Structure 1
Amino acid sequence: MPARRPGARPQESPLQKSLAVCGLLIGLSGWGDAVAQVDLSTLDQRMPGPTTQVLVLGSVHLSDLPKDFKRESLAPVIDRLAAFKPEVITIEAISGEQCDLAARHPAIYGAQAMAPYCRKTDAAKAATGLDAPAAIAEAHKTLKNWPAAPTSAQRRRLAAVFMAANDKASALVQWLQLPQTERRSGDGLDDVLVASLEKAMLYNDESLQIGARLAARLGLQRVHATDDHTGDNVDIADEAAYGKAVQAAWETAAAPMGQVLEREAALAKSGDMLGLYRYVNRPDVLRVVVDGDFGSALRDTSPEHYGRLYVAGWETRNLRMVANIRAAFRERPGARVLSIVGRTHKPWFDDLLGQMQGVEIVEAAQVLK
């Protein structure tokens, strides 16, 4: 028998090899079961301190309402949200960082893909001398050293910086906290930016009319833009066929969806915005909406699985949005958080945020009752 090298393993028989393979397979199977059985829902049970309470407000898009919509009809909704006393407010808007990212990578996101969500900041750059990255950096630095009783000049400057950072909603938060006589140009705000802020006060946009106004009322300094379109730019070879397949899937659920939309339109027309927000946040209504949109898409029978591609983009977007929301209160354990988002996102947000450690989901119905 030839001598073995020092440290070399002895030669195994076929039976030994077979037993070793079986043992490896059993071990891998057990490992998979063990991973599947890890329950994270109780991980935070012995966590000291209060939980972070997160309220997801499913919203209609106010821009879709008739032009004669009266913004003051939102007062009962805002009053109930104010009673919740959120310390962090997130909105469905693209951040300045993501707008800048998309602009630098047109080959990935498309030259015009973000155009509907990202405003040009040329006017703000001309007024402040700051491009978006510089403005974002200044806003972060300013907020870290923000005084308890800021002067009007400080608020005007921060509003101008937020405009340059492509964060008009946060700029409006500062503008609304200025006395009427101090809402003027100066400290980085020129007449063009002032006009833009005054116009923003009249936009039918839930991020502004609910988010920014509520933040200003509560004395917060900003809102957090947490929308994300970097993951839903699904690469489709035949976009016409894709659109046709998804539309056909939606038509299979047209009847129940139509009933929901009719009820929403009636509530909006009556001016009962509190009733409307109570309705769109009801679980039974949300189930109809989600099934009519995404359930029907998943039942699409096209060979290319177009419906599943649509849902994949939607879920990727929601995952990234929820990550952005989590980051917004990352350094605020125990805070009260309000996330204002299109109502179709709400079931995903409630589910995903509810899995976060130290987080408790607050029922919208309880707050709006």
Structure 2
Amino acid sequence: MGTMRENGRRYAATLLSLLAWSWPFAAQAQTDLTVLDRDMAGPRAQVLVLGTIHLRTLPAGFNPAALDGLLDRLAAFKPEIITIETENGEECDLAARHPARYGADYCASTAAAQAATGLDAPAAMAQVDKLLKTWPAQATPGQRRRLAALFLASYDRASAYVQWLQLPAGERRAGDGLDAALLEQLQQLGKRKDESYQIAARLAARLGLARVHAVDNHTGDRIDVPDIKAFVRSIEAAWAAGGAEMRAHEKQDDVLALAPDLLPLYRVINAPGRLRARAEGNVHASMRAKSKEGYPQIWVAGWEIRNLRMVANVRETFRERPGARVLAFVGATHKPWFDSWLGQLQGVDIVDVDQVLK
């Protein structure tokens, strides 16, 4: 009996020793979060991330008709929610209240819209939310003018332009909160070389959507370093050393950008090889760059924070709409991060952009 007890003690001691030895490895084991929705009830969200060029870089003679083929393909996807790479009203209002941190020109001024509507940005945003809860399938011109004015007062110019585009030509006039100054703003928006207006807003209006959703965020990538000029030089040197393939691609893209149809350009910049080269040229080059201050690695941290917050903002647009069809416009360099992180979310499928654009 004593021998059995002794053997039992030895076994217990050995087991405890093994557990103690293996615990650090067990603690490092990660739960696969991507399979938690394997038995999901109901439809899954379909998210299409379209990497875009910034249209402001195109020549002065740019013709918006060059985007018609792209718009046709995207309309066929039938998105119910469209997001754009610009700051939302809450972020702009936050920045306006903290000029010492974010500067005085973080977002375009809403002074003219506030004067026309009598509402500051938070009040205008509250009115927008209230109106959209009961927004009719066939809004009247007066309702559209009112909503456009409120969007302008909310820092949401792209959504204001969505409403403007859905007004009959004869109804694009002052009234219901729109005055001469705001009419001028809306007319000028239509002339801007900006994908938020020329692609996203035009598509939203074509599909009868009430708005687009701004999801960009720069609150986490405003780098605080002692020598900002040295920081910029360090980043540019890293990119110059590691971005040869990306620069060669950009030269090819510049040629495609001059074509009367930009659909081939969008097919190319969204191709997996192009996206890999952008990621390598920007982030991998920065991570391996040597810097006493660690400046390139600091830049990557800011880049990741920005992308994480943008992805969270995209997710928020369909939080209450499981199974929604979502189209996210973002600069092509961001697309790999969007695809990867949005693809890890529960109940979300990433749509193959090549299948949409082919």
TM exceeding 0.5? yes
Residue 356 of structure 2 is aligned to residue 367 of structure 1: yes
**Aligned amino acid, residue 136 of structure 1:** M
What's the counterpart of residue 309 of structure 1? 298
Match of 1:85 among 70, 78, 89: 78
Paired letter, 2:343: G
Cα deviation digits, residues 102-141 of structure 1 (max 9, x gap): 111233x3324xx2x5110000001000000000010001
Contact preservation (8 Å) 2:158, 2:201: yes
Q: CA deviation at 1:250?
A: 1.1
Instruction: After TM superposition, give the deviation of residue 22 of structure 1 in Å.
Output: 6.2
1:70 maps to a residue whose letter is N
Q: Residue 218 of structure 2 aligns with which residue?
A: 229
Contact 2:217/2:309 (8 A) holds in 1: yes
Amino-acid identity (%): 55
The AA in structure 2 aligned to 1:85 is K
Structure 1 residue 149, shift from structure 2 partner: 1.9
1:170 aligns with 2:163: no
- Distance (whole Å) between structure 1 residues aligned to residue 314 and residue 224 of structure 2: 26
Which of 187, 190, 199 lines up with 1:210 in the alignment?
Answer: 199
Letter in 2 for 1:264: D
SS class of match (1:89): strand
List structure 1 segments (4+ residues) > 6 angstroms apart after TM superposition: 21-24
- Which amino acid counterpart does residue 287 of structure 2 have in structure 1? L
User: Whole-Å Cα distance in 2 between the matches of residues 327 and 37 of structure 1?
Assistant: 26
What is the SS of the residue equivalent to 1:204? coil
Cross-structure match for 2:254: 265
Say whether residues 1:253 and 2:248 are aligned partners: no
* Residues 1:98 and 2:91 aligned together: yes
Q: What secondary structure sits across from 2:48 in the alignment? A: strand
Work out whether 1:160 is the aligned partner of 2:149.
Answer: yes
CA drift at 1:23: 8.5
User: Equivalences for 1:330-369 in 2 at 5 Å?
Assistant: 330-369=319-358
Corresponding residue for residue 8 of structure 2 = none
Question: Offset at 1:289?
Answer: 1.4
**Secondary structure at the counterpart of residue 230 of structure 1:** coil
Q: How far apart are residue 245 of structure 1 and its match?
A: 1.2
In the alignment, which residue of structure 1 is the partner of 2:27? 32
Q: Which has the larger displacement, 142-151 or 311-320?
A: 142-151
Distance 1:308 1:254 in 2: 16
SS of 1:55's equivalent in the other structure is strand
How far does residue 30 in structure 1 lie from its aligned partner after superposition? 5.8
Report the TM-score, using the length of structure 2 for normalisation. Answer: 0.93
CA distance in 2, matches of 1:80, 1:238: 46
d(CA) in 1 for partners of 2:22 and 2:224?
A: 39
Distance across 1 between alignment mates of 2:303 and 2:50: 19
Q: Quote how far apart the aligned CAs of 1:43 are.
A: 1.0
Letter in 1 for 2:111: D
The answer to whether the aligner puts 1:220 opposite 2:220 as a matched pair is no
Other-structure match for 1:323: 312
- More displaced, 354-363 or 246-255? 246-255
- Structure 2 Cα separation of the partners of residues 46 and 215 of structure 1: 33
Measure the CA separation in 2 of the matches of 1:316 and 1:301.
22
Matched, 1:111 2:103: yes
Asked whether 1:74 is paired with 2:63, we answer no
Secondary structure in 1 aligned to 2:257? helix
Q: Secondary structure at the match of 1:92?
A: strand
Gaps of 5+ in 2: 1-12
Number of residue pairs the alignment of both structures matches: 346
Specify which of 186, 190, 207 is matched with residue 201 of structure 1.
Answer: 190
Distance, in Å, in 2 between the alignment partners of 1:300 and 1:25 is: 40
1:27 Cα offset (Å): 7.8
Secondary structure of the corresponding residue to residue 252 of structure 1: helix
Query: Do residues 61 (structure 1) and 49 (structure 2) align?
Result: no
Distance 1:178 1:306, change over 3 A: same
* SS of equivalent residue, structure 1 residue 339: strand
- C-alpha separation in 2, matches of 1:227 and 1:49: 29
Local SS of the residue matching 1:338: strand
- Say which SS state the counterpart of residue 278 (structure 2) adopts: helix
Distance 2:258 2:172 in 1: 33
CA RMSD, Structure 1 to Structure 2 (Å)? 1.8
Write the distance in 1 (CA, Å) between the matches of 2:39 and 2:305.
Answer: 32
Pick closer, same or farther for the CA change 1:235–1:28 going to 2, 3 Å.
farther
